[in-house]
Amino acid sequence: MEDVRQGWLDGNPDHCGRTDPRPSRPFRIILLGAPGAGKGTQAELLTDRLRACQLSTGDVFREARCASSIALSTVMRDAMDAMTAGKLVPDETVIDLVRERVHCLICSYGFILDGFPRTVSQAEALDEMLADQDLVVDVVLNYSLPVESVVRRLSGRRTCRSCKTTFHVETKPPKVEGICDKCGGALYQREDDTAESIRVRLTAYEESTSPLAAYYEAKGLLCTVSAEGDAGEVFNRTLSALEERFGALPV
């Protein structure tokens, strides 16, 4: 799946050469929820289970930031500044970025969208992109978590620079402080996981992203899942919610 992810990150469809068996039915799923609700982790688990690709706009911006700053366009540099401050990147930039990667959206393996759409305008743009291909979203999983839990999770989060695995200083500490258990890479605290950025991100979420729940509720697509507990518990709830809606999931 590494090439598939690379195709999304750099927007080059040549990197997506999937040959693994196609699932008996593709799932096209959007994950909503405040930062820290665990969308990224659930997206990874769903990717393994359903074989749809995890597409995260936040990952694309982080990847761009790691690339040479000389290579960044002014638009991308402004996007990086917004991101570091915890603010949302302008809709136009995000929509252009997703449009450039439409091959990932229309892939017959399906998709798990994590972090996009984040505003109603982005959702409308996504609907248009999919409608042009006669595709629709199957379900929108909305992960709910009280604010205190969000702040606790985000401020203790540490991420591996190499393989992106996440840890938590209290609830999932690495065996050796600062070192990834999986690949030995260095762990870091995301610049936007500081107390001030978390506050700004939560405000952005309340103002821009929570109206999306109403947007998808009106379309009959919203399915709310409690994000309390560990990743395995939340994943079990996620699978139950999907089975309730779609029947037995493909093996």
By CB under 6 A, name the binding residues for ligand AMP. Answer: 35, 57-58, 61, 82-83, 86-89, 94, 115-118, 122, 192, 201
Active site residue 118: yes
Q: How far is the CB of 110 from ligand AMP (least distance, A)?
A: 19
Closest to ligand AMP by CB, 23 or 78: 78
Active site residue 49: no
Q: What are the Cα distances from residue 246, in Å, to 139, 161, 240?
A: 10, 37, 10
Q: How far is the CB of 13 from ligand AMP (least distance, A)?
A: 21
Q: How far is the CB of 200 from ligand AMP (least distance, A)?
A: 9
Q: Are strands 157-160 and 187-188 parallel, antiparallel or unpaired?
A: antiparallel
Q: What are the residues facing 159 on neighbouring strands?
A: 166, 188
Closest to ligand AMP by CB, 149 or 249: 149
Q: How far is the CB of 232 from ligand AMP (least distance, A)?
A: 22
Is the separation of the CB atoms in 55 and 104 below 8 Å?
Answer: yes
Active site residue 65: no
Catalytic residue among 65, 87, 99, 190: 190
Look up tokens 């992960």; give the residue: 143
Catalytic residue among 28, 118, 158, 237: 118
Active site residue 245: no
Alpha-carbon gap, residue 27 to 221, rounded angstroms: 13
Alpha-carbon gap, residue 154 to 136, rounded angstroms: 32
- With CB atoms as reference, the residue minimizing the distance to ligand AMP is 58
Alpha-carbon gap, residue 153 to 5, rounded angstroms: 25
φ/ψ of 33, rounded to 5, equals 145, 155
Closest to ligand AMP by CB, 22 or 190: 190
Closest to ligand AMP by CB, 29 or 83: 83
Catalytic residue among 5, 39, 49, 101: 39
Residue spans of alpha helices (H) in the chain = 2-10, 39-50, 57-66, 74-84, 91-100, 102-105, 120-131, 147-155, 195-204, 210-218, 231-246
Active site residue 201: yes
Closest to ligand AMP by CB, 57 or 238: 57
89 CA to centre of own chain: 15
Catalytic residue among 28, 157, 158, 237: 157
Residues taking part in catalysis: 39, 118, 157, 190, 201
